[in-house]
Amino acid sequence: MVKLLENGGCFCKHNLLQSKSIFSGNFCGDGKAHYAPNIIIQPIHMELHLDFSEIKNCTVKGKNFITFTHEISTNFFLPQQKDLTTVYLDAISFNDLTVKGEGTRYYYDGRKLTICWDSPFEVNENRKVEIDYTVIHPIAGIYFNIPNEQYPMRVMHCITDHEPERCRYWIPLVDSPTVRTTLEFLITAPTDLMAIANGRQTMKKKIDNDLSLTKWVLDTDRCPSYLICVAIGDFLYVEDNDPELNIPISYLGPKGKFSKLDFSILFTGKQKAEDLKRTFGKTASMIKWIQKKLDYPFPWKKYYQIVSPQVRGAMENISFVAWNDFYCIDETLSKEKQLLVDQTNVHEISHTYFGNLLVVRHFDHTWLKESWATYMEAVWIEEHLDADHFRYEMLDCKHLYVQEAARYVRPLVKRVWESPWEMFDSHAYPGGGLRLHMLRMLLGEHAFWAGVRNYVKTFAGKVVETEDFRKCLERSSGLNLVKFFDQWIFGKGYPKLKLKFDYNFEKNIVQIKLEQTQSSKDTGVVKIFEINFEIEVEDINGYVYSLNLEFSDSTVSSAQVALMDTSTAIKIIRLDPLGKLIFDVETEGSVPEVVLINTCKSAKDICNRIWAYEELINMGTTNGMRKVQENILIEPFWGVRVQVANALSKAKTHLCVLTLAAMLENEKDFRAMYGLASACNIRDPIIHNALRKFLNNDNNPYRATAAALENLGKQNCPADLEYLINFANDDTKIGQHGILRSGVFEGLANHSSKGSYVYLEQQTRVSLFPALRKESEKSLKFQPEKTLPALISGLATAALKQVCNASQNHVISLLTDLLRDHRHFVKKEAILALCEFGNVESIPAILGTKPTFADQVLLDWMFIRRMLSSLKENRGESKIKDLVRNLEDVEGRLRKMEWNWTDDKDSKQRDEEEAENVKKETDLGGSIRNINNNTRERIYECTKG
């Protein structure tokens, strides 16, 4: 699965780059050990009769005919009779639930359904039960997109999204990947709506003028609950079959008619056929590629892909993959996002094998599917683009994993968690993908892929655990991989290295010392990772020397090499030149600046060029920074430019600002623009001018423009307020999925002015509180639903920067009212904002929302509970926050002075008088005198001119 956090669901590493992690501090602090359920009696087939005739009321009437069997022949070992007479099904908040079956009795407590038979099962005996039920407005599992008074242009549909354990909210079953069944769906729905499910369609007929019955069958493959998918709605259907593949390939999305400036598009999520084909057009070629790569035929009878705003990401349901419609790209968005979408497509297709055909026994082995899907993205890039793109993809994986590992480290295989979602983190996705690449480098191409193909063939249609994978690799390579798996899969952490570089010019000897330091910084991590660390140095004559530093029983390793010619000198250094390892390295400035300058300009691989740039930026010398600017403006690979921009943004020096501004002005590659615009988050007149110049180009892509708008607000220039509001009011500048509108809301929130707060407050009332509209606001439009998260968080941010307590109390009141909104994403944004306010009085109202959140949904109650705990712990800081807000008001007045001083030096006298008043007002007490230091320095800079 790929979880789209920015819209509430899909994890792929790409979204992790742009999203806040739900995990902070130690992993699974409140968790317990989880195990796969017993399968003494197990379901083998489900016949689901699903009645969607009341779809407008978000109601489903269901009948689940479940066939159970007992296939274990060792009955005499069972200690308890109930193991052969009782099953437990997951079923949360069902209405009118009844069970029918010969010799059965049942008990339902609202969460678990217990079914007991009068007599025990015999070996290979099948028994069938019928479970009748109704679900009304389920809080998870199946999601409804229904037109209403506020959004009448929505396209009616509903769709399921089950991973990891959400099917239990609308179908009674054993909700675990261990249990897999064949499936039949008999779906009753309004005649004007399509009904699609897993497998192949075998029948469709009219029941009457209003209703139709559609049957789908998945009888050749057994499906775990989290891979079941059903969609009912008014869908656009686009066929894209390939003559070389004997399976139908189709793309679906909410249907609608379009005009050039159809504002309703942003409210409904309706799609265009050309956008669906642009998004998924490489699907057939990807299927053919992976069949060949794994030497195993594609197992499904169809491959459909559907987009919907109700899906929380991209989900690899068997034969029917569901995507959040944020992934559907128009021509403009494709300029910066096509590669990301293609990678996600490969990710989901890879799950056909890793996750669907080979199902993990339980979530402790989640890495076996998510690491593989992530790594297959990189392999596809390697074989369809070039080595630079492959190395950059692996570097992205490393950054994500290391970033998370700075907060916590865990083994890839772990049974303790609070929610199974916790296993779907950067350890499982990029962290596991990196380890698969290490195995490939260790075994070599032939042995590695031979082992993988054997693994797929051996366990096709079965459940797998980590040891199954290890043994297949051992059979293909002859290597004993137990220690590798103990360290890298069942162990915690990764090598953190301290590098000491010593170049003796007189003797022409290069000596390098490495020390593993991870065990001194992190508790419980592997002390010594057994690795061979390769370093390559090149002299000015082009001779290349290789050093191999081995670690086995010591944390320290060193090597040296003498240069061939005494007249030569070291020019370039490359760490891990082939990209075989996961590691972090600190050089403590020991690598000479001239070597780093040559490396950033001329190293063969992008990873070492990026590393050299980052070292130079950390050193910060004038000469080094001038070389950074000189070289980065001619750097050929767009990803290097993005990473250097990030490093410059962190350093924030004057030379960094100059370089960032030049990079943004010079950039022509749409793929890099978002990264560069995001990095321009430093408040400086030079950056301000660069952002305004960038925004003057209407041909820039959406995400880059949105990032520029967000950072323009951070400049706090009074003259920008009118520009931002005009941009926000321009309905030709909404952007697909509301990307531009969301960006300008963030920019207004960052602007910190009274005017930006007033605008955001008005738009929030108009869109979310129609009853609070003033008479003069009756003609204002609702904001697109996809922009509401940015609007809510933006209003909270703007209110926090206002000194007026009445404004803050008003926003807190609005946010508290939003806790009753029926949309989960609105409630969550309101909860996050209330926690940001530090408003402990809101805790009871937040706690009251618990019944509306699913236990198994990412960023839902587990995260909310942690936020509330933090809020309670920090309640004593509220007085300090009030003082800080007063300080920010003073700083706001100061910002106006600075901009006036920049734009009109003749007003110096007025500024000096104003600054003197500000100095008097900044004495807010000893509790925040340290906070005032930065402000006083800026006052001095302003007045001394």
Q: Between the CA of residue 683 and those of 229, 660, 705, 891, what are the distances in Å?
A: 48, 12, 18, 13
Range scoring the smallest mean pLDDT among 310-314, 586-590, 814-818, 835-839: 835-839
Where does the pLDDT of residue 11 fall: very low under 50, low under 70, confident under 90, or very high at 90 and above? very low
The predicted pLDDT at position 918 comes to: 40
Separation CA 356–CA 316 (nearest Å): 8
Query: Average model confidence (pLDDT) for the chain?
Result: 88
Question: Percent of the chain beyond pLDDT 90?
Answer: 75
- Spatial contact of 291 and 247, defined as CB atoms under 8 Å apart: no
In this structure, what DSSP letter does residue 493 have?
-
Q: What is the rounded average pLDDT of the residues 112-118?
A: 97
Q: Is the pLDDT of residue 788 over 80?
A: yes
pLDDT digits (tens, 9 = 90+) for 660-691: 999 999 999 999 999 999 999 999 999 999 99
Give pLDDT tens digits for 282-301: 999 999 999 999 999 999 99
Query: 771-784: per-residue pLDDT in tens?
Result: 888 888 888 888 99
Residue range 512-558, pLDDT digits in tens: 999 999 986 667 899 999 999 999 999 999 999 999 999 998 999 99
Band (267; pLDDT cuts 50, 70, 90): very low
Comparing 650 with 914, the larger pLDDT belongs to: 650
**What are 311-342's pLDDT values in tens digits?**
988 999 999 999 999 999 999 999 999 999 99
Q: What pLDDT is stored for residue 521 in this prediction?
A: 64
Q: Is it the case that residue 870 has pLDDT exceeding 90?
A: no
The number of residues making up the chain comes to 945
Q: pLDDT value at position 857?
A: 61
Position 866 confidence tier, pLDDT thresholds 50, 70, 90: confident
Amino acid identity, position 863:
F
pLDDT at 121 over 60: yes
State the pLDDT at residue 269.
61
Sign of the Cα pseudo-torsion (682, 683, 684, 688, in order)? positive
β-bridge partners, 731? none
pLDDT at residue 15 above 80?
Answer: no
What phi and psi values does residue 731 have, to the nearest 5 degrees? -75, -5
Quick check: 307 pLDDT over 80?
A: yes
382-413 residue pLDDT tens: 999 999 999 999 999 999 999 999 999 999 99
pLDDT band for position 50 (cuts 50, 70, 90): very high
Band of pLDDT at residue 5, cut at 50, 70 and 90: very low
pLDDT band at 419 (very low <50, low <70, confident <90, very high): confident
Contact 853, 819 (CB under 8 A): no
The percent of residues above 70 in pLDDT, for the chain, comes to 85
pLDDT at position 935 is: 37
pLDDT higher than 60, residue 28: no
Residue-level pLDDT at 921:
40
Q: How confident is the model over 602-640, as pLDDT tens digits?
A: 999 999 999 999 999 999 999 999 999 999 999 999 999
Q: What is the pLDDT of residue 885?
A: 52
Q: Tell me how far the alpha carbon of residue 625 is from its chain's centroid.
A: 34
CA-nearest of 790, 678, 688, 792 to 734 is 790
Name the residue among 740, 716, 717 with its Cα closest to residue 729: 740
Check residue 882 and give its pLDDT.
52
What is the pLDDT averaged over residues 242-257? Answer: 91
DSSP 3-state assignment of 24?
A: coil
Beta bridge partners of 560: 511
How far apart are the C-alpha atoms of 230 and 306, rounded to whole Å?
Answer: 11
pLDDT single digits (tens) 133-166: 999 999 999 999 999 888 888 999 999 999 999 9
